[in-house]
Amino acid sequence: MTSQLSAVLGAPAPGAVPQLRSITIQRPAMSEHGLLDYVIRDDSLVWSRRGEGTVGFGQVARFEASGPERFAEARAWWDAVAAASEVEDNVNQAGTGLIAYGTFAFSFSSSYVSRLIVPRIVVGRNDACSWITYTVSDPAAELSVEAAEAELAALLEDYSPEHELGTGIDRLVAGQISEESYLESVRKGVSVIESGSITKLVLARDAVAELGSPIAVAQVLRQLALRYSDCWTYSVDGLIGATPEMLVRVRGDIAEARVLAGTLDRATAPSGDADYAHRMLLEDEKQRHEHQLAIDSLTEQLGPLSSGMDAPDEPFVLQLPNVWHLASDVKATLAARADGSVPSMLDLAEVFHPTAAVCGTPTKAAGVILRELEGMDRGPYAGPVGWIDTRGNGEFGIALRGGVIESPTSIRLYAGCGIVAASDPAAELAESWAKMRPMREALGL
Ligand SMILES: C=C(O[C@H]1C=CC=C(C(=O)O)[C@@H]1O)C(=O)O
């Protein structure tokens, strides 16, 4: 969009540094599922877990970048926006004031454009309070809570998507990587690992859900949020899903991550065997090895950036409706740099991405091999997705268990599996189906 045209439309061109004005005010407390009452529009921005999070509406500024410098460029833009904007934050908590939602391409060579989006209205809820943030880019616009509430009410009331139109025939079709080619790439991956150049490789595949009527995005998100309450439900510009894995969450100088690796399908679990998950995950050498590689890669990167770190010796079993995972929660106090600042959310997202849970070990060599064996542009799948505020707080999950909406009636789903020397191709293929199940069920497939 040219700057002339964007001036006419009232939205700055992507990448221009807008001078925003923003106000945040506390709202009456919401019930536990109150935030989901705002997940009505299919075009909302959403970040939610266990009733906490934010729902964003509209867009007052947008940044786009591609290539190896996408994180650094996003950081520079966000710092400039924060410096240029007037923010009246009457709540002063993580996620209040000006925020941007973001998604980043998995690979520096992806054709997917990484982006940050500053919404016009944000409704938020945490364990202490609820709030609304209103942001305008037009210097003449009224900046008041009354204007925000009126605009929000209109956005929610006037919305009536036509989900019922269409053929009514829904189907799941093969994506760029068929089941056969996936089995073949896992076989090759195991051989590469056996040759000793890498120890772990995460191989993904895709499938396309073609629906007979437009995707009811908001309904899918509400269903994911309610059913997968331990996951972070996200929706940013056509990338939707519910991820169980937290790349990094920052509150002040505390950074936290939830590392997952090691998976067991619940659909094929024998009934009445209470110790099954414990035995098959915690006591299984292959699964523990796969998990340890993911933990080591995170702690090696976090160590030099922190003054103290709490990484458990033993993982726990995370139970989701579709699978069990081996999981570890890592917490660190970020060390101040020479200028007294701590690394920002985007600094950390860049350092940690891609983790061994989505790429492999060692990272660089595994990345090269995965590009070769998968031969697919992952787009934003397995890249960071989440939000940042202007105080350095934020949350970036890993964009897993989701998909990219490619047209009003089609969405490309992705799933990958950690491959180690002991991996069985057929079991990995089955695991990839188990990881697509949350989206398939939410889509009614
Ligand atoms: C790569 C994915 O999952 C990762 C996260 C948790 C467990 C994984 C595993 O056991 O293979 C994967 O490393 C995915 O869901 O597409």
Helices (H), 85-233: 145-157, 179-195, 217-227
> Which CATH code for domain 171-443?
3.60.120.10
Burial class (CB in 10 A: 0-12, 13-18, 19+), 335: middle
For 45-78, b where at least 16 C-beta lie within 10 A, e where not — what string? bbbbbebbbbbbbbbbbbbbbbeeebbebbbebb
What is the pLDDT, as a whole number, of residue 9? 42
Predicted confidence (pLDDT) at residue 292 exceeds the cutoff of 60: yes
- Ligand 1 nearest atom to the CA of residue 401, by list position: 15
Predicted confidence (pLDDT) at residue 6 exceeds the cutoff of 50: no
Nearest to 311 by CA among 330, 325, 294, 297: 330
| Helix (DSSP H) and strand (DSSP E) numbers for the chain | 10, 23
> How far is the C-alpha of 440 from the C-alpha of 207, rounded, in Å?
10
Nearest to 439 by CA among 246, 217, 237: 217
Distances (CA, A) of 352 to 14, 294, 297: 26, 11, 9
What is the pLDDT, as a whole number, of residue 159? 82
Query: Both tokens of residue 325?
Result: 């995972």
In which residue ranges of the chain is CATH 3.60.120.10 found? 171-443
Cβ of residue 378 lying under 6 Å from some atom of ligand 1: no
Q: What is the mean pLDDT of residues 124-130?
A: 96
pLDDT-derived band at 105, boundaries 50, 70, 90: very high
Other CB atoms within 10 A of residue 113 CB: 17
Q: 165 C-alpha to center of ligand 1: Å?
A: 35
Q: 47 C-alpha to center of ligand 1: Å?
A: 20
- Look at 100 and 168; give whichever has higher pLDDT: 100
Q: What is the mean pLDDT of residues 391-396?
A: 96
Predicted complex ipTM: 0.99
Cβ of residue 358 lying under 6 Å from some atom of ligand 1: yes
Predicted confidence (pLDDT) at residue 236 exceeds the cutoff of 70: yes
Distances (CA, A) of 263 to 224, 229, 244, 357, 431: 19, 18, 12, 11, 7
Q: What is the mean pLDDT of residues 23-43?
A: 94
Predicted confidence (pLDDT) at residue 378 exceeds the cutoff of 80: yes
Predicted confidence (pLDDT) at residue 373 exceeds the cutoff of 90: yes
Predicted confidence (pLDDT) at residue 15 exceeds the cutoff of 90: no
Q: State which H helix or E strand residue 172 sits in.
A: strand 171-174
What is the pLDDT, as a whole number, of residue 7? 38
Other CB atoms within 10 A of residue 28 CB: 7
Q: State which H helix or E strand residue 395 sits in.
A: strand 394-398
Burial class (CB in 10 A: 0-12, 13-18, 19+), 31: exposed
> How far is the C-alpha of 7 from the C-alpha of 415, rounded, in Å?
41
Give the pLDDT confidence of 348-368 residue by residue, as tens digits.
Answer: 999 999 999 999 999 999 999
Whether 103 and 385 have beta carbons less than 8 Å apart is answered as yes
Q: 435 C-alpha to center of ligand 1: Å?
A: 8
Q: What is the mean pLDDT of residues 63-89?
A: 97
Give the pLDDT confidence of 241-257 residue by residue, as tens digits.
Answer: 999 999 999 999 999 99
Q: Which of 286, 316, 328, 435 to mutate to test the pocket of ligand 1 (most atoms within 8 A of CB)?
A: 435
pLDDT-derived band at 14, boundaries 50, 70, 90: low
Q: 74 C-alpha to center of ligand 1: Å?
A: 27
What is the pLDDT, as a whole number, of residue 22? 97
What is the pLDDT, as a whole number, of residue 234? 98
pLDDT-derived band at 160, boundaries 50, 70, 90: confident
Cβ of residue 202 lying under 6 Å from some atom of ligand 1: yes
Q: 357 C-alpha to center of ligand 1: Å?
A: 6
> How far is the C-alpha of 325 from the C-alpha of 317, rounded, in Å?
6
pLDDT-derived band at 165, boundaries 50, 70, 90: low
- Rounded to two decimals, what is the model's pTM? 0.95
Q: What are phi and psi of 167, to 5 degrees?
A: -80, -25
What is the pLDDT, as a whole number, of residue 32? 85
